[in-house]
Chain A
Amino acid sequence: MSTHEHEPEHEREPMHTGMVAPKGRWWVPAHRSEKVWFAIAFAWCMVLFAMMPLWHWKGGQNASGIRSRVDPAAYRERVEQFVADYKVGEMNGLPVVEPPPGSDVYLLGRMWTWYPVLKLRKGVEYTLHLSSTDVNHGFSLYPVNINFQVVPGYDYGLKIVPTEAGDFGIICNEFCGIGHHMMLGKVIVTNEDGSMPGKPAAAVEVP
């Protein structure tokens, strides 16, 4: 094509499309505008990366947890013990369990229930353990919208502090078979003094 009388330093390829096999040396400096964009994009990537450790340090929501393998049968026993220790009532055929503030709380996902119903207190830290005894389930607290994967054979212990009182649902959001859509659990969060929140639904009357 054209000769490059004005560019004696290095021979540049004429501009070409991506279909053309470039000849000669194409490892040449980019134009300043491309360098600027490269630098900005790189800096942005570093911001994206820094945010995660920063949130571990300063933020209030992290999924680190206390994680361990657990035999499904052993986990079921632990949940039964937890229910026997702190059961305060029943709701729709499921035990309602009110553990002491600050204690370990055990929740079991299985086809197709979340067992048991939990009664927690606002502003108190609990260690919420999640596991399954059959297939994968998805713990999704509604309407807070916090989501965790519940994997059989693994115990995921998460330090949680309920920051609002009220009635919460646990939706299963991992496909677990034909009854997946019926897998709905419940968490009741009482006020700091243990009283029921403002306008409880009729079903929440716990003896």
Chain B
Amino acid sequence: MSTHALETPQERTARLAQRLFRRCDVTGLALHQPAERLIRANAVAATVALLIGGISAILILLTRWQAVHLLDPMMFYRVLTAHGISMLIFFIIFFEMAVLYFAAGPLLNSRIAAPKLGWFNFGLMTVGAILVEWMIWTGKADVLMTSYIPLRAHPLYYLGIILFAVGALLVCFQFFATLIVAKREKTYDGSLPLITFGAVAAAIIAVITLLHGAATYIPTFLWSIGLMNVDPQVYRMLWWALGHSSQQINVAAMVAIWYLLGAFTVGAVVLNEKISRTAFVLYILFISMASAHHLLVDPGFSSSWKVVNTSYFMYMAVLASMLHGFTVPAGIEVGQRLRGATQGLFGWVKRAPWGDPGFSSLVLSVVVFGFVGGITGVTIGTEQINMVVHNTLRVPGHFHATVVSGTAMAFMGLTYYVIPLIFRKKVAFWRLAQIQPYLFAGGMFVFSIFMSFSGGFGVPRRHWDINFTGASFQQAFHPAVDATMAIMALGGLVAALGGGLYILITVWSVFFGRPFTAADRVDGAKGIPQGILKPPRAVTVADEANLPIGRFGHAPGTMALVFIFLASFALYYFANWKLLSFVWKIG
């Protein structure tokens, strides 16, 4: 006792917190139990939101597929509202809260600051989410996710979103406080790990985003109870500073998870800390300007405003993504080469652990996000090209490739490591878990591509009936649209099957699964990803000096891949300018 007499209050807190740690025998990280419990709670809430959003997705799909046309118009727009909010806001942000707790706590061997505040925040977010879902499903908020004024929802709908956002904002501050705790208590030596750095970027973007959210929803709430006026155009600008920027939180969090999954599965290295961190800083500085992507054919803004903002000030955030698009696969390649997969240009691809759902999810996430989501996003976010794209199915075609095949896929891949490492359970239905990423990404790939094709024919998004039943005029779409929409629907159903399997596997593992103990770590054991069974170890000393450096650096395979990417990008980009040049003259 006497030794404790001299300690400062901070030291006392730190010492008491020590008793709440558990040492992970796989990663060697010190896991603060309150952090672990918060990670679990947020992950479970995310999965519930995913389930609601997923069921909604199937209903929407079976309605837009004109041959089935399941729902009536009122239910269609109601379910569409629920789909957007449940997926883009509740699922993704709950999951990101779990990532923030992990990146500042266990990853730095630190306790988290104010765990009780964490439960308060979780409560606030949950109450907010329940309010919103209640309002939607009882028909008091048929306004779609964007709730463009003067469409009007029940005041409690706006209030629910405000509560959810305040909770999330407080988690961000709790995350920053944990970073200070870790620094002060010297739980790590050196600079922040890159993954935590990426989470810091995500958290800063989240703060910017959520402040825009407050600037949107607080006036809107007051408007809904008759206390003030809100201009429809100003609303659109502020809403998209929330709506688009929140997807940029995902991008930063997803890239951080790419580095994490790379580390878990193949020991992916960080080629250069400077490059990767600069890319994250570029995200923070420029990514919020993308609100303009949604306002390119709006009457309220000048062309120069549109050009500067839509390009994130000369495409600096695109530059950041192109840098990560090189460093992530290059890190994987070098990790693989260090483990002995040195043959040829693509030997490292051939010898990769494709049966590890964490790894396959990572690669599928990078590829579909980059090739489909990224290329289409930059192209349709070009001021003039947007005229042939705005509000057509090309828009959801783009963001299902980023948010679903990119972000959600990365989250799913991480879950296969969270189940054994945090929930300490074996992954149930292991064979299904191994094919789940392929089903999900494959389905989403077909879905996104054919949704984009349909949009290219002018098919509108957010539309109950493209046969226009009851309209005063008749309008038939190009006959190919029947086929593209049907293929889109089939792709979507395959993806829904993959999403359903994910929910089945995670829920079953967590609530009915067999516990994961050290005895389970034997070669060929089912239910444990390979990165945990045999954590990646370099066969040579992990040093640049032991890597063959050709003319194209440490990662020649990746160099070839990024040039294929650039060629596809240029082809798609200029093809769209060509397409634009065929339409009526407008000025």
- Chains A and B come from one and the same complex: yes
B21 at the interface (CB under 8 A from A): no
Q: How far is the CB of B330 from chain A (nearest CB, A)?
A: 8
- Separation of A160 and B190 alpha carbons in the complex (Å): 61
B238 at the interface (CB under 8 A from A): no
- Chain B, range 188-235, C-beta contacts under 8 Å to A: 188-195, 198, 231-233
Q: Once the chains bind, are B260 and A18 in contact (CB under 8 Å)?
A: yes
A92 at the interface (CB under 8 A from B): yes
Q: Once the chains bind, are A169 and B275 in contact (CB under 8 Å)?
A: no
A149 at the interface (CB under 8 A from B): yes
Residue of B nearest to A143 (CB): B458
B552 at the interface (CB under 8 A from A): yes
Q: Once the chains bind, are B303 and A62 in contact (CB under 8 Å)?
A: yes
Q: Once the chains bind, are B463 and A149 in contact (CB under 8 Å)?
A: no
- Separation of A17 and B306 alpha carbons in the complex (Å): 39
Q: How far is the CB of A20 from chain B (nearest CB, A)?
A: 6
Chain B contacts of A143 at CB under 8 A? 457-458, 478
Q: Chain B, 411-429, contact with A by CB distance < 8 Å: what is the 0/1 string?
A: 0000000000000000000
- Separation of A20 and B256 alpha carbons in the complex (Å): 13
Residue of A nearest to B574 (CB): A51
Q: How far is the CB of A131 from chain B (nearest CB, A)?
A: 8
- Chain B, range 546-587, C-beta contacts under 8 Å to A: 549, 552-555, 559, 562, 566, 569-570, 573, 577, 580-581, 583-587
Q: Which of B189, B256, B457, B464 has a CB less than 8 Å from the CB of A23?
A: B189
Q: Once the chains bind, are B307 and A15 in contact (CB under 8 Å)?
A: no
Q: How far is the CB of B2 from chain A (nearest CB, A)?
A: 34
Q: Which of B276, B314, B386, B469 has a CB less than 8 Å from the CB of A181?
A: B469
B3 at the interface (CB under 8 A from A): no
B338 at the interface (CB under 8 A from A): yes
Q: How far is the CB of A43 from chain B (nearest CB, A)?
A: 10
Known A-B contacts A33-B553, A48-B382, A145-B583; the reply to A171 vs B193 at CB < 8 A is: no
Q: Chain A, 142-168, contact with B by CB distance < 8 Å: what is the 0/1 string?
A: 111111110111111011111110000
Q: Once the chains bind, are A154 and B302 in contact (CB under 8 Å)?
A: no
Known A-B contacts A15-B544, A48-B318, A48-B378; the reply to A22 vs B233 at CB < 8 A is: no
Q: Which of B269, B314, B552, B569 has a CB less than 8 Å from the CB of A16?
A: B269
Q: Which of A14, A34, A42 has a CB less than 8 Å from the CB of B272?
A: A34
Chain A contacts of B538 at CB under 8 A? 15
Q: Once the chains bind, are B475 and A169 in contact (CB under 8 Å)?
A: yes
Q: Once the chains bind, are B581 and A152 in contact (CB under 8 Å)?
A: no
- Chain A interface residue count, Cβ-Cβ cutoff 8 angstroms: 100
Chain B contacts of A40 at CB under 8 A? 566
A86 at the interface (CB under 8 A from B): no
The winner among A48, A92, A161 for most chain B CB atoms within 10 A is A48
Q: Once the chains bind, are A19 and B107 in contact (CB under 8 Å)?
A: yes
- Separation of A131 and B327 alpha carbons in the complex (Å): 47
Q: How far is the CB of A105 from chain B (nearest CB, A)?
A: 13
Q: Which of B314, B473, B554 has a CB less than 8 Å from the CB of A184?
A: B473
B30 at the interface (CB under 8 A from A): no
A41 at the interface (CB under 8 A from B): yes
A113 at the interface (CB under 8 A from B): yes
- Separation of A143 and B306 alpha carbons in the complex (Å): 26
The winner among B302, B461, B553 for most chain A CB atoms within 10 A is B553
Residue of A nearest to B579 (CB): A145
Chain B contacts of A30 at CB under 8 A? 271-272, 274-275
Q: Which of B144, B299, B316, B562 has a CB less than 8 Å from the CB of A65?
A: B299
Q: Chain B, 296-320, contact with A by CB distance < 8 Å: what is the 0/1 string?
A: 1111111100110001001110110
Known A-B contacts A17-B270, A22-B191, A44-B322; the reply to A59 vs B384 at CB < 8 A is: yes
The winner among B194, B256, B297, B319 for most chain A CB atoms within 10 A is B297
- Separation of A69 and B197 alpha carbons in the complex (Å): 44
B515 at the interface (CB under 8 A from A): no
- Separation of A158 and B298 alpha carbons in the complex (Å): 11
Q: Once the chains bind, are A63 and B296 in contact (CB under 8 Å)?
A: yes
Q: Chain A, 1-20, contact with B by CB distance < 8 Å: what is the 0/1 string?
A: 11010110000101111111
Interface segment, one of B162-170, B387-395, B402-410, B487-495: B387-395
Known A-B contacts A34-B326, A45-B319; the reply to A19 vs B195 at CB < 8 A is: yes
Q: Once the chains bind, are A1 and B297 in contact (CB under 8 Å)?
A: no
Chain B contacts of A181 at CB under 8 A? 73, 463-466, 468-471
Q: Which of A12, A37, A151 has a CB less than 8 Å from the CB of B544?
A: A12
Q: Which of B274, B322, B384, B549 has a CB less than 8 Å from the CB of A26?
A: B274
- Separation of A130 and B307 alpha carbons in the complex (Å): 22
B472 at the interface (CB under 8 A from A): yes
Q: Once the chains bind, are A151 and B298 in contact (CB under 8 Å)?
A: yes
A136 at the interface (CB under 8 A from B): yes
A173 at the interface (CB under 8 A from B): yes
Residue of A nearest to B550 (CB): A33
Q: Once the chains bind, are B384 and A140 in contact (CB under 8 Å)?
A: no
Q: Which of A44, A159, A163, A176 has a CB less than 8 Å from the CB of B566?
A: A44
Q: Once the chains bind, are B566 and A184 in contact (CB under 8 Å)?
A: no
Q: Once the chains bind, are B150 and A33 in contact (CB under 8 Å)?
A: no
Q: Once the chains bind, are A55 and B577 in contact (CB under 8 Å)?
A: yes
Q: Once the chains bind, are A41 and B319 in contact (CB under 8 Å)?
A: yes
- Separation of A93 and B305 alpha carbons in the complex (Å): 41
Q: Which of A141, A145, A151, A186 has a CB less than 8 Å from the CB of B299?
A: A151
- Separation of A97 and B330 alpha carbons in the complex (Å): 62
Known A-B contacts A2-B545, A18-B194, A184-B471; the reply to A148 vs B232 at CB < 8 A is: no
Chain A contacts of B330 at CB under 8 A? 34
B354 at the interface (CB under 8 A from A): no
Chain A contacts of B323 at CB under 8 A? 37-38, 41
For the complex of A and B, 5 pairs with smallest distance between CB atoms? A33-B553, A17-B263, A173-B460, A18-B259, A45-B315
5 contacts between A and B (CB under 8 A): A16-B542, A34-B271, A53-B307, A140-B391, A147-B387
Beyond the given pairs A44-B566, A149-B297, A180-B463, 6 more chain A to chain B contacts, judged by CB atoms under 8 angstroms and listed by A's residue number, are A23-B190, A28-B274, A61-B587, A152-B150, A158-B586, A178-B74
The chain A residues found within 8 Å of chain B, CB to CB, are 1-2, 4, 6-7, 12, 14-24, 26-28, 30-34, 37-38, 40-42, 44-46, 48-49, 51-53, 55-56, 59-65, 67, 92-94, 113, 125, 130-131, 134-136, 138, 140-149, 151-156, 158-164, 169, 171-186, 203
